[in-house]
Amino acid sequence: MILFPPAKINLGLHILNKRNDGFHELETAMIPIPFTDILEILPADKFEFILSGIPIPGDIDSNLCVKAYLLMKEKYNISPIYIHLKKIIPMGGGLGGGSADASYILTGINTLFNLNLSNQVLEELASQLGSDCPFFIQNTPQIAKGRGEILSKTPIDLTGYYLKIVNIGIHVGTKEAFAGAQFSKNSKTVSEIVTQPISTWKSELENDFEKTVFRIYPDLLEVKEKLYKEGAIYASMSGSGSTVFGIFEKEPNKSFNTEKETIELIIRL
């Protein structure tokens, strides 16, 4: 079984308050984009997890794919599987690649072993792995609230627009981004703003992480400003960073330098 876990972008992100459990109350719109990792899942005599592509630091046992398999094994006593993950989506970029990989392990196992689990059950399992993981079960545009696990559909449709994604190789840790988090002062909710014409997003649709992250990494602010100079209707950092994207009506050109760590993609949505 070959699967293609996609990245996502955040359209607006409001940090509302800090909860009693230590997490922050958020509201954001998320949409999947056609920029994917590659995941192979096969039945096996013993469990094996192979990585290729972008190196992933840390112990293998801490990888979300492994945690997803162990969770399903504990819940449903499944047989061993072989997993090969080719990592393409950059880490620490606010694109949710690790969360997508873990969620696709859940849905892949559900199919492979004919478990017939509903999306609701899969989302509950995914929420045990990470805040962004439930989003990738249905993999459609959604409003996320709570710490990201409370999902509802949104009619956002960017079909026909061009998305320019720029990652200049800076890794922004989630803890680092939250350390200086400032709570939203926007009188409108994200779900209200994203239903407005895209032309209004520039002045109204905010990612609250930008206040902190751009102060620490001014090069990221320069990327956003450059995207607007090139004609983006809307530009923003995704999630807690560090990927910055622009939405264009016409196909933009590649314009960022081709340093080894820089990723620049143009995608027709």
Q: Is residue 182 pLDDT above 80, yes or no?
A: no
Q: What predicted TM-score, i.e. pTM, was given to this entire model?
A: 0.93
Residue 144 sits in the same domain as residue 56 = yes
Residue 21 sits in the same domain as residue 118 = yes
Residue 128 sits in the same domain as residue 24 = yes
Residue 187 sits in the same domain as residue 133 = no
User: Annotated catalytic sites, by residue?
Assistant: 8, 132
- Report the run of H or E that residue 65 belongs to, with start and end: helix 64-76
Residue range 198-208, pLDDT digits in tens: 999 999 999 99
Of 103, 130, 153, the position where a domain reaches its end is 153
The proportion of the chain whose per-residue pLDDT surpasses 90, expressed as a percent, equals 77
Strands in 203-242 per DSSP E: 234-237
Distances (CA, A) of 267 to 57, 99, 127, 129, 254: 28, 21, 29, 29, 11
Residue 143 sits in the same domain as residue 78 = yes
Residue 132 sits in the same domain as residue 186 = no
Give the CATH number of the domain where residue 235 resides: 3.30.70.890
Query: What CA–CA distance (Å, rounded) separates 234 from 68?
Result: 35
Query: What CA–CA distance (Å, rounded) separates 10 from 240?
Result: 9
Residue 146 sits in the same domain as residue 244 = no
- The pairs formed by 148-155 with CB atoms below 8 angstroms and a separation of 24 or more are 148/26, 148/28, 149/123, 151/123, 152/191, 154/29, 154/191, 154/194, 154/195, 155/195
Residue range 6-21, pLDDT digits in tens: 999 999 999 987 777 7
Of 135, 153, 171, the position where a domain reaches its end is 153
Please tell me the predicted confidence (pLDDT) of residue 155.
92
Of 98, 121, 153, the position where a domain reaches its end is 153
Residue 103 sits in the same domain as residue 203 = no
Please tell me the predicted confidence (pLDDT) of residue 259.
64
Residue 58 sits in the same domain as residue 113 = yes
Q: Specify the number of domains making up the chain.
A: 2
Residue range 87-139, pLDDT digits in tens: 999 887 899 999 999 999 999 999 999 999 999 999 999 999 998 999 999 99
Structural domain span for residue 65: 2-153
